[in-house]
Structures are given as C-alpha cells and as structure tokens.
C-alpha cells in the first residue's frame, strides 16, 4: 500500500460484471488524472479481461468483494465500505466513486478546488454529487427539488434537501469519519436516515461523471438490455469543445446531460433514461406541458436522426422500442 500514501483523491470504479463498461470507466479515470490511484473493485462476475488489461498498471489496485458465481451479485456497498477503509489507510482526503457503467469526463485541480469549496461552505454535506441531471427522468428537477446556492468563494451549486445521500459522487473521507457515518445498507434507506440526521445532497455546477445512457443491467441473474462494445474510445464526449470552460464560467441555466454530453460512435435515444426502456419513460413525458416536451430522437456525436441509421449501434436496442410501440420508423 506504499504507493497509495499521501494521495489526495482516490477514485473507485465498482460494479458487477460488464467488463466493456468497466474498461471505459477505468480508462476515463486514468486519462483524466495524472497519478491518482484507481481502486477497481468487482462485486462479482468474470474479471479475467480486467485483470489482464490492467495487470501491469501501478495506478490500479484490483479487489473483489462479490461472488465468483456470475449468477449472483455482490454488494455494491461492501465495495464502498472497503474503498473507504482503503482510502483512510492511504491517508487520502477524498474518495471519488464511479459505478462501472459511468465515465469520468474531466478532472483537474480547479475542479477539485470547486468541490472542496462546497465542502467548506456546507457543513452538513457529506459528499458532492458529481453528475449531470437527466431531462428524460427528472425534467422538473430545477423547479421542484434543486435550489441554487452560492459557496463562500462565489460559485454556484445546487441543494437537494430531500436526500441525504447518493451512492456515487465525491466524498469527504475526514467528514465521514468525524461524523461516524456507517455506509452499510442501501441507497434509499441510507439517504432517508442521513436526511433525518440533517444531512443534505449537493450538486456541483461542474459535473464530472456521466452515466452511460440506456445501460445493460443485471436483474435476478439475467442481463437486461445490451452492453456496448469498448473500442478504446470513450463512450461519451462533450457536445461542445468549450463545454468545460462554459461550466467553469457558470454561463448556463441548467445541467441536463442531454445538453452537454453526446454518445461517441453509437446512437443514443434522447431524452435519456436511467436504465432499460419502460412505460414510465413516456408517462413522465406525458405529464409535461407540450411547450416543455423535447422531441424523441437519436443522437450520435451531435448528429440527430429520427431513426438510427445503424440499428446494431442503437441504444436502447431497437427491438425494445418496436415491441413497446413507443417509437416507430416513419
């Protein structure tokens, strides 16, 4: 563990299986950080590809906390608890958690200072949420749940007093330790418990982590959806070359992922959804005033189509959409 001593931030990539997603996640951290340690933790499934790919990378620490049997899922929160203990022993101050179907879009010292500024300003904040919001799942979030706030250094952030915890973001290890926070359990129960203790969730005005839209998921031992194939290119890229500078300058009104990030070399349905297609996706859309609805469309590298030209690279899989009779080609 000597190579982990005095690291300010440790990045955790954790999840079950889905090695293609995991390679994208790990590579995104390696490419955006100079020498931070990456804790790669499997909660189950086949990990041979990962162990071979990163066997000689000194910045990677590989661990397993789940089952060898690919039909069982390990505990994500066991991975978090292990990572927190590892970070403490490594004298790290912050733990940046990504699930394995996410991607680190960018990272630098100025971004970290902005996050530290949030911790310095808001004492009842255990972590800062590092993601964008999604119009497809929460189109009214800025009206109903998130409230703007200004940090001590004059930077924008968003307060969510309805939640005390999310299961990914940048965590203040010292604060978690001082407050004697036990992170065992599940996201919703832990969020409710911490909210009752007075903690709140805070969104940064510079999101750094992006979930892959329409990811394949494991439910009841069965894979739902289709996993993207990793070709050593990031799955997601900014929609604008100057996106990061715009975020840093705070010249924006909302932080919907659909406005800032696009799929890279594959077609994603927008507005996006957290997981596989469901009827709730259209129910949320139907409740919006017509003037606020966004058109359903396919997007890839800022190209927009009514129907994907390559259905093999379309997510969610086209068959799911046709089967539900939600969106059909003209």
The pLDDT tens digits along the chain (330 residues) read: 344 333 489 999 999 889 999 999 999 999 999 889 999 999 888 889 999 999 999 999 999 986 554 444 447 888 999 999 999 999 999 999 999 999 999 999 999 999 999 999 999 999 999 999 999 999 999 999 999 999 999 999 999 999 999 999 999 999 999 998 888 767 778 888 899 999 999 999 999 999 999 998 887 777 788 899 999 999 999 999 999 999 999 878 899 999 999 999 999 999 998 777 778 888 888 888 888 899 999 999 989 999 999 999 999 988 777 665 544 444
Q: What is the pLDDT of residue 278?
A: 79
Give the C-alpha separation, 271 to 282, whole Å: 10
Nearest CA to 302 out of 260, 245, 253, 255 is that of 260
Contact 129, 166 (CB under 8 A): yes
Q: What is the pLDDT of residue 329?
A: 41
Strands 37-44 and 60-67: parallel
Contact 77, 183 (CB under 8 A): yes
Measured over the CA atoms of residue 210, residue 17, residue 190 and residue 181, the dihedral's sign is: negative
Residues with Cβ within 8 Å of residue 316, at least 6 apart in sequence? 214, 225, 226, 269, 273, 276, 277
Nearest CA to 122 out of 149, 95, 144, 96 is that of 149
Q: Is 251 helix (H, G, I), strand (E, B) or coil?
A: coil
Give the C-alpha separation, 268 to 248, whole Å: 27
Residues with Cβ within 8 Å of residue 34, at least 6 apart in sequence? none
Give the C-alpha separation, 100 to 120, whole Å: 29
Give the C-alpha separation, 95 to 8, whole Å: 9
* DSSP code for 291: G
Residue with tokens 């997981």, as numbered in its chain: 275
Q: What is the pLDDT of residue 89?
A: 92
Measured over the CA atoms of residue 109, residue 58, residue 166 and residue 130, the dihedral's sign is: positive
Residues with Cβ within 8 Å of residue 192, at least 6 apart in sequence? 164
Give the C-alpha separation, 275 to 277, whole Å: 7
Contact 258, 270 (CB under 8 A): yes
Q: What is the pLDDT of residue 324?
A: 59
Tokens of 283: 């129910």
Residues with Cβ within 8 Å of residue 18, at least 6 apart in sequence? 45, 100, 101, 215, 216, 218, 227
Contact 310, 267 (CB under 8 A): yes
Q: What is the pLDDT of residue 226?
A: 87
């Amino acid at each position: 563990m000597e190579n982990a001593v005095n690291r300010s931030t440790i990045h955790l990539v954790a999840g079950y299986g889905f090695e293609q997603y995991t390679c994208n996640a790990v590579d995104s951290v390696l490419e955006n950080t100079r020498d931070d340690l990456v804790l790669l933790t499997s909660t189950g499934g086949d990990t041979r590809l990962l162990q071979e790919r990163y066997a000689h990378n000194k910045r990677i620490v590989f661990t397993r906390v789940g089952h060898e049997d690919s039909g069982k899922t390990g505990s994500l929160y066991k991975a978090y608890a292990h990572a927190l203990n590892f970070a403490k022993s490594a004298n790290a101050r912050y733990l940046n958690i990504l699930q394995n179907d996410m991607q680190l879009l960018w990272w630098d010292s100025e971004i970290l200072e902005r996050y530290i500024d949030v911790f310095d300003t808001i004492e009842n904040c255990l972590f800062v949420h590092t993601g964008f919001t999604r119009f497809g799942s929460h189109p009214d979030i800025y009206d109903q749940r998130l409230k703007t706030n200004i940090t001590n250094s004059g930077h924008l952030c968003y307060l969510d007093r309805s939640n005390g915890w999310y299961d990914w973001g940048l965590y203040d290890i010292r604060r978690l330790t001082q407050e004697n926070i036990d992170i065992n359990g599940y996201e919703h129960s832990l969020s409710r418990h911490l909210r009752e203790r007075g903690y709140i969730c805070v969104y940064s005005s510079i999101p750094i982590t992006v979930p892959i839209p329409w990811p394949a998921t494991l439910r009841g031992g069965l894979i739902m959806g289709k996993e993207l194939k990793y070709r050593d290119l990031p799955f997601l890229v900014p929609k604008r070359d100057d996106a990061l500078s715009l975020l840093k300058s705070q010249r924006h009104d909302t932080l919907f992922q659909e406005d800032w990030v696009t799929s890279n070399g594959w077609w994603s349905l927008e507005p996006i959804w957290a997981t596989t297609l469901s009827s709730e996706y259209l129910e949320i859309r139907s409740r919006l005033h017509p003037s606020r609805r966004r058109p359903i469309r396919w997007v890839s590298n800022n190209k927009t189509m009514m129907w994907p030209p390559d259905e093999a690279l379309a997510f969610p899989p086209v068959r799911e959409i046709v089967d539900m009779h939600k969106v059909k080609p003209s």
